[in-house]
Structure 1
């Protein structure tokens, strides 16, 4: 919801009192919005929000983000119970989130605690990640003897595709995408960087770029080796490395979307009957949705108000402003 206050000409104590009233109103309406989030219907006659918390209950004052986290945890637990499996959640929404070494530690520890024969369900929603961390995850999955299924409701690109390929089967949403697994080196496609000396004479290439080209060539070699080594045999129709070699050097852009039908055409063991729970697990967190308060301060002689010196609205315990000042 967006509240818009314009042209009120706040001056002196009257202005301060008006701002206080706006903040109090924002707080009250924010609380009503929290209490009104009822997505899962009624349980025992009590309306609950997506986290399973009834309005006015012990945790009714938690932030929308905390409620979101509780809701995801509940969906993971329900999916695990329904499948009688151990669920590994690799879900990234923020641009700064990706498969990193913390992800590798979490996956390795989850597999270790689950036991060698446990059924594993990997729920993936990620743009990719670090090669070395991905290799650790692939090694752990390869050495796990129990059945492994990857669920991709929306996307599992790059390193996410490799993690999916390490499982016995892949369940994709009808519009979900996998992607090429060609390495990127120094934020550049390693495949093209490795070919640089063939495209330009040595006297036209800097020493730095020549070194990067050699390192990219090595990265391509390593990627081909470990991708072929860790892809599950269920996806190797001809028993060779042709699948991974094509996904690495097949001439596609790194962000190329591989939809389910094309994935099946590659010989991947893919089905598209995605459980609703996996969509819920991969839903993005709530955005900061404060009230938009446009404060129009009257200034003498047309003087503009410096936003840095204007009254600042308070923040909640998650650091989100309870209102947003917009000065025009």
Structure 2
């Protein structure tokens, strides 16, 4: 045994110690309480009114963070308070679909939150949707579109920066789209296996089935089916106001099958030229609500928008100033 221990040498013992430290760190991390919002992207949420008369300034005298609050805490509190101020100024139900981290996108959690927000709002309540998203799952987007189509109240989508793919589809289901002066939306062509489905579908015409292996033949046929289904449901759910008030599918066919790259930006001027009911009268407050969270903790792999601000934190916020921005 002593011969074995002695043969390890200093370098070997250093390697063993390093592995031990890594294992202990992993065990410590696993023992920490798990945040339920780790897999929950920022989705729709309604907010109750909170009196602004009791609010005080966020920054302490002399600057710095309030005691016991990290930069992430302050950011989350500002987003929540800003959303509340916007809701009060507009007198609407606010649905926030804001994604920043690389695993956040429109998925079934987003759909559930949006559906519940609309269901609880009442059929005629005005709805404001704040969008900042790379897009997401087709089935989740379709659920959201269905809920929006059957909500009678006026629906307005606010896009300060960008709403791609499924985010664009959600905006098109609303009565009005408000864009930041440099905001972008994009094509809504479906993606299949990370590749554009319209281009995959064209393989059947470009090469013919005899020149495609069996796997690619199946993929091309499924991509063709995805394009067909996307055109059908997108045309059904787009708000007619963006088609000049008619039921034409020209707009959705253009956004799906025009040959645009999936990340080709559509700026406000082009959106207006396409006939979309858009404006650029964006409230300044929404730019603040859509700011990315601070990266102050490399181990904090959670979405900080998912939880409601507590009353202690709310008391630190100057809601009156935020209300001015919301107008």
Question: What is the TM-score of this pair, normalised by structure 2?
Answer: 0.72
Instruction: Write out aligned runs for 1:30-179 (5 A).
Output: 47-49=57-59, 60-179=67-186
Partners of 1:48 and 1:54 within 8 A in 2: no
> How far apart are the structure 2 equivalents of 1:243 and 1:204?
34
Do residues 288 (structure 1) and 270 (structure 2) align?
A: no
Equivalent-residue separation in structure 1 for 2:55 and 2:223 (angstroms): 62
Bigger relative contact order, structure 1 or 2, given CA contacts below 8 A and separation 6+? 2
Distance 2:178 2:123 in 1: 22
CA distance in 2, matches of 1:319, 1:198: 45
Higher mean C-alpha displacement, 79-88 vs 197-206: 197-206
User: What is the CA–CA distance in structure 2 between the aligned matches of 1:109 and 1:95, rounded to whole Å?
Assistant: 25
Superposed CA RMSD in Å reads 2.6
Query: Could you report, residue by residue, the CA deviation over 1:229-273 in whole angstroms, capped at 9, with x for unpaired residues?
Result: 000011112531000100000110000000000000110000001
Q: Secondary structure at the match of 1:149?
A: strand
Q: Which residue in the other structure is 2:236 paired with? A: 229
Q: Which residue pairs with 1:297 in the alignment?
A: none
- Give the direction of change, closer, same or farther, for the CA distance of 1:275–1:206 in structure 2 (3 Å limit): same
Structure 1 residue matching 2:129: 3-state secondary structure: strand
Match of residue 244 from structure 1 = 252
TM-score, normalised to structure 1, is 0.71
Which residue matches 2:278? 270
| Cα deviation, residue 201, structure 1 | 3.8
With over 3 angstroms needed to count, the CA separation of the structure-2 counterparts of 1:253 and 1:68, relative to structure 1, is same
User: Following the alignment from structure 2 to structure 1, what is the Cα–Cα distance between the partners of residues 55 and 154?
Assistant: 40
Question: Which residue of the partner structure matches residue 3 of structure 1?
Answer: none
Residues matched between the structures, number: 249
Structure 1 residue 59: Cα displacement = 6.5
For residues 93 and 58 of structure 1, the distance between their equivalents in structure 2, rounded to whole angstroms, comes to 23
Unaligned segments of structure 2, at least 5 residues: 1-52, 303-327
Q: Distance in 2 between matches of 1:54 and 1:243?
A: 54
Which runs of 5 or more structure 1 residues have no equivalent in the other structure?
Answer: 1-42, 291-314, 321-328
* CA deviation map 1:147-205 (0-9, x unaligned): 00000000011000000000000000000001000000111100010111222243431
For residues 174-189 of structure 1, the aligned pairs below 5 Å read 174-189=181-196
Q: 1:236 to 1:80 in 2, by over 3 A?
A: same
Secondary structure (helix, strand or coil) at the match of 2:162 reads coil
Give the match for residue 259 of structure 1: 267
Rg (Cα) greater in structure: 1
Whether contact under 8 Å (2:149, 2:173) holds in the other structure is yes
Kept in 1: contact 2:72–2:296 (CA 8 A): no
How far apart in 2 are the matches of 1:55 and 1:100?
43
More deviation, 63-72/212-221: 63-72
